[in-house]
Amino acid sequence: MIVILLGPPGAGKGTQADFISEAHNIPKLSTGDMLREAVASGSPMGKQLQEVMSSGGLVSDEIMIDLIRDRIRQADCKTGFILDGFPRTVAQAEALTTMFEEIGRAADVALEFAVDDGILVERISGRFSCANCGAGYHDSFNKPAKDGVCDRCGSTEFTRRKDDNAETVGKRLESYHRQTAPLLPYYKGLGILRTVDAMQPIDEVKSAIAQLLNA
Ligand code: ADP
Ligand code: AMP
């Protein structure tokens, strides 16, 4: 199964991608995570990426399309994958459709996370993750069972994203509405758009998605 997750920053895509990945045994391809790894490597390319990401803008379509083209051809993507954070522009979506045609595959579902902008700053400003395994948490909505200890791997080290501040969030939301929201009619036109109410608590969103994907 190939699933594309669409929705603004903080809508809950990464959180739900982990659940879908586990339930369907397919990898989550998060372009944000891939870019953050490139930044952490400290390469000259990583430095350029960091500038764009900390400004709240989007990395160029050429870089992103090459990154995904290589990734989806890897062996672990054979039975399917979840795209979290890609495509983010119409040019990326069109390139993805062409890539799929070239390899004889197609996306099954483009899943829209419907949320009001008003809740996103709170979701994003409370976000943190395990520095060891990447498991995602929230200060109020999704705390580790034992304070300061990762549920998944037991690590006690956590990190917060540099771009998760109110100023950058505003710019990221603006990029979403201007450049990414046009993908909703694009995937509606392809007949694969489904919408989930992502204002609900995490477990309810999880059940709604499970129902939708199993239908
Ligand atoms: P995205 O990948 O869309 O940017 P995340 O999955 O990282 O969003 O979620 C953003 C933050 O909100 C995280 O801290 C996460 O734990 C929390 N979160 C995710 N889904 C919900 C939800 N349905 N209700 C409340 N908080 C949520
Ligand atoms: P995310 O982790 O999805 O919130 O992405 C973090 C940042 O990485 C974004 O604000 C963009 O700067 C960049 N990014 C991630 N995915 C893409 C993409 N598909 N196209 C362009 N930029 C991206």
**Average pLDDT score over residue span 150-177:** 94
52 Cα to the center of ligand 2, angstroms: 9
Q: Is 161 a catalytic residue?
A: yes
Among candidate residues 13, 28, 36, 206, the one labeled active-site is 13
pLDDT-derived band at 166 (thresholds 50, 70, 90) equals: confident
Ligand having the closest approach to the CA of 88:
2
Is this structure's pTM higher than 0.95? Answer: yes
Ligand having the closest approach to the CA of 85:
2
Task: Output the six-digit token pair for 21.
Answer: 């990945």
Contacts of 212 (CB under 8 A, 6+ apart): 109, 111, 194, 196
Among residues of the chain, what percentage have pLDDT more than 90? Answer: 95
Among residues of the chain, what percentage have pLDDT more than 70? Answer: 100
pLDDT reported for residue 202: 98
Within 6 Å (CB) of ligand 2, which residues are found?
9, 31-32, 35, 52-53, 57-59, 64, 85-86, 88, 92, 172
Task: Output the six-digit token pair for 1.
Answer: 């199964």
174 Cα to the center of ligand 1, angstroms: 19
12 Cα to the center of ligand 1, angstroms: 4
User: What length is written for the chain?
Assistant: 215
**Average pLDDT score over residue span 65-74:** 96
State the Cα–Cα distance between residues 65 and 92, nearest whole angstrom.
6
Using one digit for the tens of pLDDT, what is the confidence trace for 179-213? Answer: 999 999 999 999 999 999 999 999 999 999 999 99
Distances in whole angstroms, Cα of residue 73 to Cα of each of 41, 44, 66: 23, 26, 11
**Average pLDDT score over residue span 117-137:** 95
Contacts of 181 (CB under 8 A, 6+ apart): none
pLDDT-derived band at 80 (thresholds 50, 70, 90) equals: very high
Give the position of tokens 């037991």. Answer: 154
pLDDT-derived band at 113 (thresholds 50, 70, 90) equals: very high
pLDDT reported for residue 215: 83
State the Cα–Cα distance between residues 164 and 148, nearest whole angstrom.
20
